[in-house]
A and B are shown apart, each in its own frame.
Chain A
Amino acid sequence: MSAEFTPSPILQVENVNAYFSGFHAVKNISLAVPEHQVTALIGPSGCGKSTFIRSLNRLHEETEGATLTGEVRLAGKNIYTPGVDPVEIRRQIGMVFQKANPFPGMSIYENVAVGLTLQGGFSKVEIENRVEKALRSSALWDEVKDKLKKPGTSLSGGQSQRLCIARALAVEPKVILMDEPTSALDPISTARIEELIFELKKQTTVVIVTHNMQQAARVSDFTAFFLMGELIEMGITKTIFTNPKERQTEHYITGRFG
């Protein structure tokens, strides 16, 4: 499998191995994530999707005992070069988690603004504009514009998740990583977020982990199939779902295991 076909990759992953205190969870993965596209990561439970996506913004190393080898290049620069500040990387590569996690004790507005406040150097007006833009992009503006001061935790599950997307968008990241963002949501909320993901690629690049193959087929341009810590194949989504190269991929997408 090679990553040659991808037009202008924003992320280039080379020989990434990730470990949990010696346990080899992600095995020698190389792939490229094309800019302004949606890339889906699929594979059975425990195959290392979360571990892999968390190595793309250096969140993997926050787990005690977790280590990693290999390179991840963001716009050509290796984020694992010694001396690179992981905090800086995470400002450029946002993340949305499986379970919506707005900050308790912060209003809706503050939740979206917090990334900007952390970075500093934004005027009040700039922050207001960015917050509104992010809330519009995450299709939440109309629902919350009259209650921006309410606690972020007062929203429904689907709204909270869109709030978290807005929070990630507000800092205008180059890439947004999403780890099963809809797995805790009802079908209607899920559909809204899927529409949203489709819109998001105009402004950023999306990498999404999903258990739901229909979802991968619906939202993504490229799909990578993982199995037991290894990348089995990656390609244009349509091809992966209609005409995969590998037998294991075919088995998985036709539901014969996983």
Chain B
Amino acid sequence: MKHRQDILFKNSLGLLSWAFIAVLVAMILSLLHMSGLAWEKIGFSFFTTSHWNPVKHQYGVAAFAWATLVTSLLALLISTPLSLAVAVSVTELMKKRAGRVFGFFVDMLAAIPSVVYGLWGIFVLVPLMRTQVQPWLFENLGWIGIFSEVPYGVGILTASIVLAIMILPTMSSLLREVFQTIPLTQKEAALGLGATKTEMIYLSVVKSSKSSIVAAMVLGLARALGETMAVTMVIGNRNDWMKSIFSPAQTMASLIANEYVEATHDLHLSALALVGVTLLMISSVIQLVFRAIYARGRK
């Protein structure tokens, strides 16, 4: 016989889970509802054009979508090797206690509010980029298209660096947990064969964690795509196609954050909601793609 208590417990938790899903669906529906007007007026060209001028009622999301993808992927490109390095150092290279302390500090990075990252970006990273990094790259590598913008300090790359630091703790702590569960016997298999420590880390740790590395990237990317505050503070907020990775630009999230306060016109508000829908779609597609890669890697 089942206990009444168990039934009650199970049912109330079940109800709660369904309530969550209901709220989520309601949110998506209301977002779709709000964006209806823009969809009616602008149609599919909303996704294919990049003119964004509320005064002339011109709304196109392409440039922002592109900037969002580039900043997030660039952040991932920076953060993936870094988080691998952090996870490997903490689990394999440092003494146990030092590793724990170091890991703790990296985890603390996750507790710093987004706006503080933004401030750090404005006061430290932006001047550094403007006076040191960009002039040098511009002088020496300016002939390569992606470095061709004159130095502003704010822009795509600056936002990517801030994002990379923000997603580092998420990614590295996942990898760290995976690496910690790798059995000692697997490491000794490599050492016993005459592998150096570096070779051992590659053979026994990294090579057997490929799918977890993809999983960490999914998490990092998900966070990077939606991150708003810090990005808004350092990306330069220019409603235009990026020319290089230094261009001031606008991501979908930063656009919404910048404009919703002043958006008085119904169509403008509705267009912003449609930007939200676009962001949601892009994140979902990317999630699905990475999940598919992950699932294939697990097999």
Please give the residue numbers on chain A whose beta carbons come within 8 Å of chain B beta carbons, in ascending order. 57, 59, 62, 64, 87-91, 94-95, 97-99, 101-106, 114-115, 118-119, 164, 167-168, 171
Question: Which residue from A98, A103, A115, A168 sits with its C-beta under 8 Å from B208?
Answer: A103
The chain A residue sitting closest to B193, CB to CB, is: A115
Question: Is B188 a contact partner of A168 (Cβ separation < 8 A)?
Answer: no
> Using a Cβ cutoff of 8 Å, how many contacts connect chains A and B?
64
Given contacts A103-B208, A104-B208, A105-B207, is CB(A115)–CB(B188) below 8 Å?
Answer: no
A104–B190 Cα distance when bound, in Å, is 12
How far in angstroms is the closest Cβ of chain B from A55?
Answer: 13
Beyond A57-B192, A91-B194, A101-B186, 9 additional pairs, beta carbon < 8 A: A59-B191, A95-B188, A97-B185, A101-B183, A101-B188, A114-B203, A115-B193, A118-B195, A167-B189
Whether A90 lies near B188 (C-beta < 8 A) is no
**Residues A90 and B192 in contact, CB atoms below 8 Å apart:** yes
Instruction: Select from chain A the residue with minimum beta-carbon distance to B183.
Output: A101
Asked if B296 is at the interface (CB within 8 A of a chain A CB), the reply is no
Interface contact A62-B194, CB-CB below 8 Å: no
**CB <8 Å contact, B185 and A90:** no
Interface string of B171-215 (1 = CB under 8 A from A): 000000000000101101111111110010001100110100000
Give complex CA distance A118, B200 in Å.
10
Interchain CB contact under 8 A, B192 and A97:
yes
Pairwise interchain contact A103-B189, C-beta atoms closer than 8 A? yes
Query: Chain B residues with Cβ under 8 A from A102's Cβ?
Result: 189
Shortest distance between the CB of A111 and any CB in chain B (Å):
9
Flag whether B56 is at the interface (Cβ < 8 A): no
Given contacts A59-B188, A101-B186, A101-B188, contact A168 B207 (CB under 8 A): no
Consensus secondary structure, chain B interface: helix
CA distance A88 to B192 in the complex (A): 10
Q: B194 touching A119 by the CB < 8 A rule?
A: yes
A105 to chain B, nearest CB (A): 5
Taking CB atoms, residues of chain A closer than 8 Å to B203 are 103, 114
Q: Is the CB of A103 within 8 A of B186?
A: yes
B→A interface (CB under 8 Å):
95-96, 183, 185-186, 188-196, 199, 203-204, 207-208, 210
Which chain A residue shows the least CB distance to B210? Answer: A105
Q: Can you name 25 A-B residue pairings with CB atoms under 8 Å?
A: A57-B192, A62-B188, A62-B191, A87-B194, A87-B195, A90-B192, A90-B194, A94-B192, A95-B192, A97-B192, A99-B185, A101-B183, A103-B186, A103-B203, A103-B204, A103-B207, A103-B208, A104-B208, A105-B207, A105-B208, A118-B193, A164-B189, A168-B192, A171-B193, A171-B194
In the bound complex, do residue B95 and residue A118 qualify as a contact, i.e. CB atoms below 8 Å apart?
Answer: no
A226 CA to B186 CA, complexed, in Å: 27
Cβ contact within 8 Å between A59 and B185: no
A residues near B207, Cβ cutoff 8 Å: 103, 105-106
C-alpha gap A139/B109 in the complex (Å): 54
In the bound complex, what is the Cα–Cα distance between A82 and B61 (angstroms)? 66
CB distance from B191 to the nearest CB of A (A): 6
Residues of chain A contacted by B208 (CB below 8 angstroms): 103-105
Closest to B95 in A: A64
Flag if A97 contacts B194 (CB, 8 Å). Answer: no
- Give the 3 A-B CB pairs with smallest separation, nearest first: A91-B194, A95-B192, A90-B194
Q: Which residue of B lies closest to A104 (CB)?
A: B208
> Is A87 a contact partner of B188 (Cβ separation < 8 A)?
no
Specify which chain B residues have a CB less than 8 angstroms from the CB of A101 in the assembled complex: 183, 185-186, 188-189
Q: With A and B bound together, what is the CA distance between A106 and B206 in angstroms?
A: 12
A100 to B7, CA, bound (A): 45
Nearest-neighbour CB distance to chain B for A158, whole angstroms, equals 17
Q: Which of A90, A114, A167, A171 contacts B191 (CB 8 A)?
A: A90
Contacts of A164 in B (CB 8 A): 189
Tell me the nearest residue of chain B to A177, going by C-beta.
Answer: B192
User: Residues of B contacting A59 with CB < 8 Å?
Assistant: 188, 191-192
Q: Which residue of B lies closest to A167 (CB)?
A: B193
Q: What residues of A have a CB within 8 angstroms of the CB of B95 in the complex? A: 64
